[in-house]
Every structure is written in structure tokens, then in C-alpha cells.
Structure 1
Amino acid sequence: MKSLFILCTLFCVLSTATYAQSFEYTEDLNKDIKSLLPEGKIGFEIMNGISSSDRSEKIIEKFTKALVENKEWFNQQMKMVKEKEGEPVPYDKRMGITKEEYDYMVAKKFDLGIHSTGQLSLNIIYLKNRLHIIPSDTTDFKQITIDFTSKKATIDEVILNFHAPINIDATDNIFNSTWKGYGWRHEESNTNTASLDNSEDLVLKVYNLTVGFIDSSKQVYINIKGGEYSKGEKTVDFKYRLLSQ
């Protein structure tokens, strides 16, 4: 799936809580988060499974082979994507696919679909203007906190800065729906360049938290991700893409 991620880069004892199947997005962080996550226990599906069409799989296979054969060129493209803030790079035959296949993948957004790989319950607790999210099952994190005064979030001991309200008004995404929410992020690194290789000098820490609402399915969406590299070795790597049951 690493090549798929790169290709995407190139071109987010308590009672059970109940809540309305509608949500009015106000861009008021306190109000919206409390509406999306009422106090109690909420069950989620872990939507970490990713599938794609047969045609996309064949294109990805060709792309993966080209990635290995043209690693230096791909490193340069990764750096370009970062500098241009995610703008897709022009087609190049070194991608290992035809122009028609390139256009297909860009238009179809890789034909990706998601499916459940398990369930997870979250205990939602409000104390002193803070939201505490505590998993009731074994996970790679013990607790998430959102501070409504500072607007900062934490995943265990890692502090994430508030990004901005999110308002996705297009449906060409993995949910096939518009959706709205809020995002937090923490990133620190000892380098400004992106590489496909984990160099022995690389130190990298990236954590993300997203809380939102999927308009078409009327589900609460939470994305929790953490990754750390230390001198080329991955020391932390987890992701939970959650949709309310």
C-alpha cells in the first residue's frame, strides 16, 4: 500500500450515547464538537480496509515497478509535491503507466473504497472545558484530549495544534460525500526534504486528529493517526479511520 499512498500524494461505567442523525455545521468548535460527540460511550467501525477496482490494481502494479526503477526521479517528485502544497505533477512516462491510465486514475481518484476491519468503542467525557476521549478497547493510544480554551489537542503526551475548520463541498473523495469537521496536526522533523527511503539520519514525528460529519451517511467521522521515525527506524505507526455505528 506504500506505493498507493505515494501515487495518491503525487496527484484526513458510561451509558451508550445517542445523537441526532443530522448535524448543523456552525464553525463554532466548542458547539460542533459537543454536538458530534455527546458524553457517553459511542461505538465506531474501524474503516482501515481499502479496496480498489481491478483496473486500478493493474495500474498500481505497473506504477510500483516503475517506482523501484526510477527511485531518484520519484524522490524529486515527492519534494516538488511538498513545495507546491500537493498540486499534482504532470504526466511522465517514468510513472510506468500510459497517459490514458494516468488520466483515469486522476479522474477516478484511484477507485478506492473503504470497509470495516473491526469495531472500537470510545468513552466521551467532558471535564473543566476539556473533552477526553478514552478507548474502551486496546489501541495504540490511551487517551485523546481537546482543550476548548486553547483549541489544542493531545494524543497521549503529543500536543497537536488546531488547523482550521474543514468544509469539503465535493464528493470525489473516499466517502463519496461532502463532509465537514475540524483538524489538528503536529509535525516535527530534522529535514525539509521528502524521500522514499528512510535515511539513517531521519527523525520525523507526525500526528493527526480529525473530527467530522459525513453528510450522505449521517455518520460521525474520526481519524487518528500517529507516526514516528528515528534514525531510519519506524518507532510509532498507527491509524484509526472511524465511522460511528
Structure 2
Amino acid sequence: MNAPNKIAHLLIIIVFAASLLSGCGESSDTSSPPIENTEQNTVTPDTGEPSDTEITTADSRIASIKSYLIEESHQADVMITALPRELNEKAAALTEQMKENLELHSEWYMKTLGELKSGEPFPYDKRLGVSEDDYQFILNLNDHMSLIKESDTTVEIKYNRSSIEILNSASPILKKMNLALDANILTTELGELTYSNEISASDEQQVTGRWNGHTWTLQEEMAQSYSISIGQLEESKKTIIYIKLLDVGQPAREEVLVF
């Protein structure tokens, strides 16, 4: 790889690893609403019948899900994870300045890059063309991400005998989901997602703010993975539905609905 291409490669790493300009791309992982698994792996004797603890846990889960998904038509905000406009403009300007300076100091850059250990961040140097504070800002952009409204949509929640149907006809990702409450399986156009974990409100959920909920996932031969989280924002008490689709070699796709 020649010097100009390596310079461009470094900038791509900086931009996308920190979710520089567009935010959602799961990002993060940190750009995505943080999820905490609060369940512990326990082994109980298999008697063929659910234990009292399992029944209580299932009842609690179903009750919480029903409190998030009220049966009616909801006007929902379609959100994206991104930098606020002023920070986005600042990041773009700093990145352009760094690009110009790296091109001017390509020999130094190549030497420094070659000396780095695996996973070691590129050290600050004035030859980057930005201040040390601005460089740290670039490296820690995920800390500044937030949910920003992109558009409106309508989400229909319908209760059936033993399931809840979630409809969003305008969605480019998933238009219909059906949650079987007893089986705890979420059926979508992509397939059946099984229950993964409970989400507990945490101060680490910086992008969304604190929230509680549940996650269902589907993994297909390590090439694709889908996750859907449904919960409630702690402060506003609004429902949040977070959908994330990962295909190897493709940009992540996600949709965040708040209502």
C-alpha cells in the first residue's frame, strides 16, 4: 500500500471506528443503544415442568413487555444515532485538516505507523495539524453521539390470543413482527428470533439514556446476525424499539423507533 493510500486508510479507520460523521453504522458498538445482560447462567434439574422461578420470571417478562407495547396506533419518531450538527461540522473540519497534514508528513506517518503494536492507537503529534484536545475529541466521538429524530412513522400494536403484533408499514427494514408471549419467539420477515437477554437501565447507555427492556436475536452461520430490543426509556417512559441487522461485508442497518 503506497503512502497516499495508507494515509487515506488511517483516516477511514479514524472516521468509521469512531463513527465520525454518520454515527449509526452499530456502530458501535457504542453507537448502538447499550444492552446489558442481567440474566445469570444457572443449571436446574430438568423435570419436564417449568419451575416456580421460571414461571415467575416468564410472568414478569410478559407483564413488562405488555407495559411497553400498548395496544393502539402510535405516532413514532424514527431516530438515528449521530453527532449533533455543530459537532458533526467540527469533526469534518478537523478530519480534513488532519488529512492535509498527513499528506505533508507522509514519511513520518509511515514510520510511526510501522512502529505501532497491534491495537495501539496512533499517538498524538503536532504534525497531525490539530491540537491534542481536538485529536482526543476525534478519537472519542462516540461519547458525543445522541439519538436524533430523522422522520415520523406510525406503529400499530395489536394483541392476538397469545401474541403481540407490531406493524410499521413504512419501515425499510422490518414491516411486521409477531411476538409469541409464551414461547418467547419473535417472528419477522427475516426469520424467528429467540430470546437473548434482559436489558437493565445503566449509566453506560449514554446515547439513549437509561432504559430497560428485552432482546431477541438470530444468528445465521456467522454471516448474518439480527437483534431486536424492545423496552422503555427510564426518564420519558416512552417505548423504544431498536432493530439492528449485521451482514458480513455490508454496512450495518438499524432502525430506532421511539413512541
TM-score range, shorter chain: 0.5 to 0.7
2:181 alignment partner in structure 1: 148
The Cα shift of 1:106 comes to: 6.7
With the length of structure 1 as denominator, give the TM-score of the two structures: 0.62
- State the partner residue of 1:219: 238
Residue segments in structure 2 that go unaligned for 5+ positions in a row: 1-11, 20-27, 34-57, 103-108
Please report the TM-score for the alignment, with normalisation by the length of structure 2: 0.60
Deviation at 1:164, TM superposition (A): 1.1
Structure 2 matches for 1:47-196, cutoff 5 A? 47-48=79-80, 50-52=82-84, 53=87, 54-58=89-93, 91-93=121-123, 103-104=136-137, 109-137=142-170, 139-170=172-203, 173-175=206-208, 177-190=209-222
More strand by share: 1
Higher relative contact order (CA 8 A, sep 6+): 2
Residue deviations 1:121-148, cap 9 Å, x none?
1111122321111114353323112222
Determine the structure 2 residue equivalent to 1:207: 226
> Is the 8 Å Cα contact of residues 91 and 102 (structure 1) preserved in structure 2?
no
User: What is the Cα deviation at residue 154 of structure 1?
Assistant: 2.3
Shift of 1:32: 0.7
SS of alignment partner, residue 64 of structure 2: helix
Task: State percent identity of aligned pairs.
Answer: 15
> Is the 2:77–2:257 contact (alpha carbons within 8 Å) kept by the matching residues of 1?
yes
Q: Indicate conservation of the 8 Å contact 1:105/1:111, yes or no.
A: no
CA gap of 1:126–1:118, structure 2 versus 1, over 3 A, is: same
Partner of 2:64: 32
| 1:4 Cα offset (Å) | 4.8
Q: Tell me how large the CA RMSD over aligned residues is.
A: 4.0
Normalized per residue, the structure richer in helix is 2
Matched, 1:7 2:18: yes
Task: Answer with 1 or 2: which has the greater Rg.
Answer: 2
In 2, distance between residues paired with 1:162 and 1:141? 18
User: In the alignment, is the contact (CA less than 8 A) between 1:208 and 1:225 conserved in 2?
Assistant: yes
